């Protein structure tokens, strides 16, 4: 009798756990579901609030309008440029930082470790950073956008821990054959670090794709602006985007909601598309990070 009661309590407990998780999934996914459906519905159906779950009066019209607007292509190419070259730059610099920092024989190992990690806890803030960018003549330059977030101390620490975990013997044998540190790094260490490189590259790439604030602040030339900044203008700052409004809503006073939804979709779809496939790396990166914390 007692045993049966206990198992009932257990069933209830586990059942509640399942309910919590299902609820969380519904809350997480519903906004995306609505976003997709609204972007594929007719403008009047959305305006009249007839769309709740599935598209109503299915049409690609909103996407056609957005893609006809040249500005979105420019912004998209800019984002791809910043993401690809920014990630390559970040990954290179991070590995170049972490490798020396993992070597016991390097006299500066400890000092430079502190030099790098100190910045995780302490920073000057927005104003001095802006003034520094200005002094370096990096305002409104693509170079500035590539450089300002180039290194994250956190990812250096992750790489360093990984490099320290590789056996010394690998390096010793290469040294005997006359290889220098640079050759060892490229030929031996990097091939052994592919999974962690993939995870960190993915994190850098996502940060780049999603970056908004400094791009908005530093770039004044529309030709250099990434897609996140353009989206913000389409959604929020309608008076700034007179030309945008004209291109996106011919003959109408305001940009129709469906077009805004389509613009949101276009901005985030690469992330949603790659997410299920690279999910393994997303989570492994997060786990390495959390263990470190």
Partner 1 sequence: MKKTGRIKTELHKNKYLYLMFLPVFVWYILFAYVPMGGMIIAFQKFDIVKGMMNSKWLGFENFRTLFKDPYFFRLLKNTLSINVFGLIFGFPLPIILAIAFNEIRLKRFKKVTQTISYLPHFISSVVVMSMVIQFLSPDGGLVNGFLNLLGKESIYFLQIPKYFKTIFISTGIWQGTGFSAILYMAALAGIPKEQYEAATVDGAGKFKQMLYITLPNLAPTIVIMLLINLGSILNVGHERIILLYNPAIYETADVFNSYVYREGIMGRRYSYAQAVTLFQNLVGFFLVFSANKVTRKLDGTTLW
Closer by beta carbon to partner 1, 19 or else 223: 19
CB of 223 to partner 1, least distance (A): 19
Distance between CA atoms of residues 19 and 76, nearest Å? 40
Separation in Å, CA 115 to CA 118, 120, 156, 208: 6, 10, 12, 24
Nearest-approach distance from CB 163 to partner 1, in angstroms: 12
DSSP 152: -
Nearest-approach distance from CB 283 to partner 1, in angstroms = 7
Residue 21 makes contact with partner 1 by CB under 8 A:
yes
Q: Rounded to an integer, what distance in angstroms lies between the CA atom of residue 258 and that of residue 49?
A: 12
Distance in Å, CB of 266 to partner 1, minimum: 10
Q: What is the 3-state secondary structure (H, E, C) of 211-233?
A: CCHHHHHHCCCHHHCCHHHHHHH
For residue 27, state whether it binds partner 1 (rule: CB under 8 A): yes
Q: Interacting stretch for partner 1, rule CB under 8 A, among 30-38, 54-62, 65-73, 157-165?
A: 30-38
Residues 77-136 that bind partner 1 (CB under 8 A): 93, 96-97, 99-101, 103, 105-108, 112, 115-116, 119, 122-132, 134, 136
Report 208-227 residues binding partner 1 (CB under 8 A). 209-213, 217
Only segment of 32-40, 162-170, 193-201, 245-253 that touches partner 1 (CB under 8 A): 32-40
293 binds partner 1 (CB under 8 A): yes
CB of 153 to partner 1, least distance (A): 9
Contact positions with partner 1 (CB under 8 A) in 166-195: 180-182, 185
- Say how far apart CA 112 and CA 132 lie, in whole Å: 22
Give the DSSP H or E segment for 283: helix 257-292
Binding mask 53-72 for partner 1 (x = CB under 8 A): --------------------
Query: How near is the Cβ of 260 to partner 1 at its closest, in Å?
Result: 6
Alpha-carbon span 184 to 14, nearest angstrom: 52
* Nearest residue to 96 (alpha-carbon basis) of 186, 228, 216, 204: 186
The number of residues that bind partner 1 (CB under 8 A) is 92
Instruction: Give the span between the Cα atoms of 162 and 200, in whole angstroms.
Output: 12
**60 vs 182, beta carbon nearer partner 1:** 182
Shortest distance, position 95 Cβ to partner 1, whole Å: 9
DSSP symbols for 24-36: HHHHHHHHHHHHH
Exposed, middle or buried: residue 3 (CB in 10 Å: 0-12, 13-18, 19+)?
Answer: exposed
Considering only 9, 178, 191, 250, the residue that binds partner 1 (CB under 8 A) is: 9
282 binds partner 1 (CB under 8 A): yes
């Amino acid at each position: 009798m007692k045993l049966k009661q206990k198992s009932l309590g257990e069933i209830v407990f586990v059942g509640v756990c399942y309910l919590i998780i299902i609820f969380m999934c519904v809350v997480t996914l519903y906004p995306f579901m609505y976003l997709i459906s609204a972007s594929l519905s007719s403008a009047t159906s959305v305006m009249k609030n007839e769309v709740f779950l599935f598209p109503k009066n299915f049409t690609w019209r909103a996407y056609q309008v957005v893609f006809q607007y040249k500005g979105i292509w420019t912004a998209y190419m800019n984002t791809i440029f910043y993401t690809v070259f920014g990630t390559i730059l970040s990954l290179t610099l991070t590995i170049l930082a972490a490798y020396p920092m993992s070597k016991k024989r390097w006299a500066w190992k400890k000092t430079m470790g502190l030099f790098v990690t100190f910045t995780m806890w302490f920073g000057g803030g927005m104003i001095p950073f802006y003034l520094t960018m200005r002094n370096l003549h990096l305002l409104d330059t693509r170079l500035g956008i590539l450089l300002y977030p180039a290194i994250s101390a956190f990812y250096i620490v992750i790489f360093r821990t990984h490099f320290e975990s590789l056996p010394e013997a690998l390096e010793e044998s290469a040294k005997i054959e006359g290889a220098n540190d640079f050759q060892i790094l490229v030929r031996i260490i990097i091939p052994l670090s592919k999974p962690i490189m993939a995870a960190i590259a993915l994190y850098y790439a996502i940060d780049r794709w999603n970056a908004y604030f400094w791009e908005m602040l530093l770039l004044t030339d529309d030709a250099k602006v990434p897609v996140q900044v353009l989206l913000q203008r389409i959604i929020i700052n309608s008076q700034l985007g007179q030309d945008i409004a004209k291109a996106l809503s011919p003959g109408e006073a305001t940009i129709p909601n469906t077009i805004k939804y389509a613009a949101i979709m276009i901005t985030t779809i690469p992330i949603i598309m790659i997410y299920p496939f690279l999910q393994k790396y997303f989570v492994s990166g997060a786990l390495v990070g959390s263990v470190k914390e």
